[in-house]
Structures are given as C-alpha cells and as structure tokens.
Amino acid sequence: MEGSQSQSQNNTSAGKGKLYIIGIGPGSVPQMTIAARDVLMNSDYIVGNGTYLDQITELIDKQEIIRSAMGKEVDRAVKAVQLAKDKIVSMISGGDANIYGMAGLVLEVAEHEGLDVDIEVLPGVTAITAAASVLGAPIVNDFAVISLSDLLTPWEVIEKRLHAAASADFVISLYNPKSRQRKSNFSQAIDIIKKYKNGSVPVGLVKNALRTADQDYVVTTLDEVMNYNDWVDMSTTILIANNESRIWKSNNRERIITPRGYQRKYDY
C-alpha cells in the first residue's frame, strides 16, 4: 500500500555485513528467543558489556567478543557499526533492545556516521514482563513504564510522568529505582503515587527475574512498600498495580491479580 514498506524490500541495502541489535531477555538463555540465539551463534562479532556477555557464555564458541564497560556505550556502538560493513555483528542489550536498550543509541550512531549498514533489531522479553510472570498477573490492563534515573531525563519530567500515570490509575512499572547518587528517588516516587492510588494497592518488587539462581521477590502493598526500601537496588523491577488489583494467597505463595476489566463480563 501507499506509504508502507515490506521487510523484504529493506534487506537489500547492505554489503556483506549486517548489524543485529539483540534483546537477550531477562538473563538466562532459555528465556531468549530462538531467533536471538541462532543469530548470536552465527555472528562474527558479539559486542556488549560484561554483565550481558556473562549471561550468554554457553553460546560463545568461535565468535570474537568485544567487551565494553558501562559508560562506554558510544564507543561500543561506533565500533559495532564500523565492523558491520563487512561482518555479521551482534550488539547485545539486556531485556528488550528498545526498552531502555541499545537500539536507540546504535541507530543514532549509524545515522551520524552515515554508513550504508544493514541493521536489524531483534526483540527480547523485557524485564517488565519477566517480573510480571514471577508475580502472576499484575499487568493485564493499561500500564506505564517510568525510569527513575535522572542522569538523562530531568527529575521534573520524571515527576510529571509519575503524577500523570498515577492519577489515571495505570499499572506502573519503575525502572532504575536507585543508584549510589540517587538514594531518595524511589521514596519520592512512592510518595507521589500514594497521592492517587489506594494504600492497599498491591506492589511487587522483583530482582533477577527468571535468572535461575538469583531470583527473589516481594509482594506487598503501597502502604507497606517502604519497609523494603533497603532491599530495593538499581536492578530491582517495581510493579505497582491498579486500584482493581488484589493479592491472591495460595500454596504459601502470594501473587498479584489485576482484572482485565472494571465491569466483570463473566459469571462464575
């Protein structure tokens, strides 16, 4: 149709090389997509930081590895784009490649470098839905995702988004709740959300969702969540449910259920 483009038209531009930007999922190979695994195993180069490379060691055989420290994202992206002129290069991102992932930066660098490189983004399971799976069914309705990191977004913008999301009773997922420099962002965010949502609203805190050995989580409420303040760290995913949500206790396990609708369509 007019204005639309099929994917097959777009894979003809490159030379021999190709750059994949790959979301590797929550951090264990079984939770990666089959496509992501296959591309990684057939890459000439895999580029990523140590944390994510450590999550895919079982897939590494003959590929050359370019390991980069946090904070060197631009250098890494430039290197990946240049190599992809004539090599198969996979740049890895935790979770999904879009959601606070590498896709944006890599496309910005490719645009800036003006290189004729074929780029394909492969999605992955994001930390949000990995955490939601551990908690049961907390986000079956409309939701908003907000990073509390004010390194790249001014705190006033973050506050505005917290007010907006809480006032319209979105399920809210908070990323990057804490860092060494910003210990109070999490408590400030909870204070804002409590202005709008009931204190009984379920809250789930999840660390290392679906990473086999390290997963841990808490189910609590908005009124009680600050009791776990010391437990929350930079890598914790926070899910604050909506005013219709409830906690279901079964088999010594607590889970969060958010109903799909306000009026129940179903009788049973």
Residues between 163 and 222 with contacts to a second copy, criterion CB under 8 A = 163-165, 167-170, 210, 215-220
Torsion angle defined by CA atoms of residues 51, 53, 57 and 61, in that order, rounded to the nearest 10 degrees: -160
Is residue 141 at the binding interface for a second copy, with CB under 8 A as the rule? yes
Question: To the nearest whole angstrom, how small is the minimum distance from the Cβ of residue 151 to a second copy?
Answer: 7
Is residue 112 at the binding interface for a second copy, with CB under 8 A as the rule? yes
Cβ(65)–Cβ(91) under 8 Å? Answer: no
Q: Residue 3 region, left (φ>0) first, then alpha (ψ -120 to 50), else beta?
A: left
Is residue 58 at the binding interface for a second copy, with CB under 8 A as the rule? no
Tokens of 136: 């049961």
For residue 141, the tally of other CB atoms under 10 A from its CB is 18
Question: To the nearest whole angstrom, how small is the minimum distance from the Cβ of residue 95 to a second copy?
Answer: 9
Tokens of 118: 């074929």
Residue carrying the six token digits 């930066």 = 105
The interface with a second copy within residues 11-40 (CB under 8 A) comprises 13-14, 23, 25-26, 29-35, 37-38
Contacting residue, 64, 142, 191, 233, with a second copy by CB under 8 A? 142
The interface with a second copy within residues 79-108 (CB under 8 A) comprises 96-101, 103-108
Cβ(20)–Cβ(91) under 8 Å? Answer: yes
Contact segment (CB under 8 A) with a second copy among 83-91, 128-136, 178-186, 187-195 equals: 128-136
Type of residue numbered 259? P
Contact segment (CB under 8 A) with a second copy among 60-68, 84-92, 127-135, 187-195 equals: 127-135
Pairing of strands 18-23, 88-93: parallel
Nearer to a second copy, 188 or 215 (CB): 215
